[in-house]
Structure 1
Amino acid sequence: MRYYAIGDVHGHLEQLKRAHELIRADIARCGQPAPVVHLGDLIDRGPESRGVIDYLMKGIAAGEPWHVLKGNHDRYLERFYRERITFDPNTRTGLVWFDHRLGGAQTLASYGVEASENRDPAQIQRDAHAAVPEAHIRFIEGLPLCLETEDLIFVHAGIRPGVPMAQQAEDDLLWIRDGFLDDDTDHGRLVVHGHTALEAPEHFGNRVDLDGGTGYGRPLIPALFEGRDAWLLGEGGRSPLLPPEHRLQRGA
């Protein structure tokens, strides 16, 4: 089975549309449609979080074979809207969601809500209830945490090595770095994730990180997977995304 995948969007609607254009061009060349998996962090930092959610909801409603996973930034919006939570203990920097480095203020601004650390969170939440469509919150609440295939595990942040998928903790699937990024054992399937921003997507042998830093102004680069083989998609078509040992063999 073939799958396309798109990493962290972070409120950059035009980048998301471009990624889908590259996928449509690849489908046109090979003549074989396939599902598209979005790895979460749809919102925050970029200017068009509302537009990103609208775009994905409309595509799914129109019958597009799109899967959308939940990211930790998506959960921020859900929790603030429902419970007025602005801090997640997994944020080791101690930042609250409204801090520009996390991007919650930018997300709420896309709905016309002013959010800052010196405004009363209760008032911000009331404004959010008036401005953010309930359908957007229900969409985020209903997003799955992972998608499993015979060869692949799609997830936002990663998995806890050695723990069966049915027993994985939500916080790990949304936030994990330590214990996953530094683990080089085979997980039985290739883990395809985002969350940890790189200069560009990279294959590490047992996992592929597709967060190429779109939240920091870099391009959103989609990927194609056939079994455990991977390619990145660009204007010139496909380019192989190879694990380290194969890169060495090719003299990369």
Structure 2
Amino acid sequence: MRAYAIGDIHGQLDLLHNAHALIEEDRARVGDSNAPVVHIGDLVDRGPDSAGVITCLLDGVAQGRNWVVLKGNHDRMMEMFLRPYPMVDMQLLVGYNWLHPGIGGVRTLGSYGVEVPDGIRTYQLHPKARAAVPKAHRRFLADLPAMYRLGDLCFVHAGIRPGVLLDAQSEDDLCWIRGEFHASTADHGALIIHGHTPVDTVTHYGNRVNIDTGAGHGKALSAVVIEGRDVWLLTPEGRQPVSRG
């Protein structure tokens, strides 16, 4: 069983195109046109073209590509802000919202042509944002799943809560969890493929694999191929094995 996965994109459309190209090259080498490509979430924020990333993924799914797109915490924050009545994700620190400088929502709105001047109030900005972000994009974000299962693999954005059955996981944890999940050495019953917390290189911990290599912070966007519980990083020179820690 084979699957491909791409880490947190964060509005980096050029890097996304490069990741797709590496996957197509690997498909050609192994003669596999059917294995799914799982996008691990955090499609938006911080990078220059979140609108283009959503358009690319929406179009690919509509064209019948075997692409799975998961919900990340940044995608969830954007979708919640763009509801008829804007909402703030309760997992955020007090005083934070999607438009906080540390989150990246302002740059995402900029990719849709919406300026966010200093001093603007939510009631002034919200209708402009909803008018600029196509309904199809808002629906796409709202409908994103938070988990994808494939045999012995489980793909999520942030991680899972240890000790809780995979089918009983909450979206809050799937999109936001860090500490308890990272510290766990338990066998989760499936190999968890996730992002959310940037690492220098794709890292295999035995029970989980972190594929977020910091595209949201000006670093690389990684694409991997997984066969069983073995993982390879895809590069222009071909596969590079990811050793288990």
Q: Normalising by structure 2, what TM-score?
A: 0.96
Distance 1:230 1:116, change over 3 A: farther
> Which amino acid is 2:110 matched to?
A
1:1-252 equivalences in 2 (<5 Å) = 1-33=1-33, 34-82=35-83, 83-85=85-87, 87-92=88-93, 94-115=95-116, 118-244=119-245
% identical equivalent positions? 51
Instruction: Say if 2:7 and 2:41, in contact at 8 Å, map to a contact too.
Output: yes
**Aligned partners of 2:217, 2:136: CA distance in 1, in Å?**
28
Instruction: Say if 1:157 and 1:177, in contact at 8 Å, map to a contact too.
Output: yes
> Which amino acid is 2:172 matched to?
D
Distance 1:15 1:93, change over 3 A: farther
Instruction: Say if 2:156 and 2:194, in contact at 8 Å, map to a contact too.
Output: yes
**Aligned partners of 1:175, 1:71: CA distance in 2, in Å?**
8
- Consecutive unaligned residues in structure 1, runs of 5 or more: 245-252
**Aligned partners of 2:94, 2:3: CA distance in 1, in Å?**
35
CA RMSD of aligned residues (A): 1.2
**Aligned partners of 2:189, 2:117: CA distance in 1, in Å?**
44
Instruction: Say if 1:41 and 1:70, in contact at 8 Å, map to a contact too.
Output: yes
How much does 1:198 deviate?
1.2
State the Cα deviation string for residues 191-229 of structure 1 (Å, max 9, x = none).
000001112221111100010000001111100001111
Instruction: Say if 2:80 and 2:89, in contact at 8 Å, map to a contact too.
Output: no
**Aligned partners of 2:204, 2:99: CA distance in 1, in Å?**
33
State the Cα deviation string for residues 104-130 of structure 1 (Å, max 9, x = none).
000011011123563111111110121
**Aligned partners of 1:105, 1:115: CA distance in 2, in Å?**
6
Match of 1:247 in 2: none
Instruction: Please state whether the residue corresponding to 2:119 is helix, strand or coil.
Output: coil
Q: Normalising by structure 1, what TM-score?
A: 0.93
State the Cα deviation string for residues 17-40 of structure 1 (Å, max 9, x = none).
000000001111111121100000
> Which amino acid is 1:84 matched to?
P
**Aligned partners of 1:93, 1:182: CA distance in 2, in Å?**
25
**Aligned partners of 2:117, 2:149: CA distance in 1, in Å?**
38
Instruction: Say if 1:81 and 1:129, in contact at 8 Å, map to a contact too.
Output: yes
Q: Between Structure 1 and Structure 2, how many residues are aligned?
A: 243
> Which amino acid is 1:212 matched to?
T
**Aligned partners of 2:122, 2:174: CA distance in 1, in Å?**
28
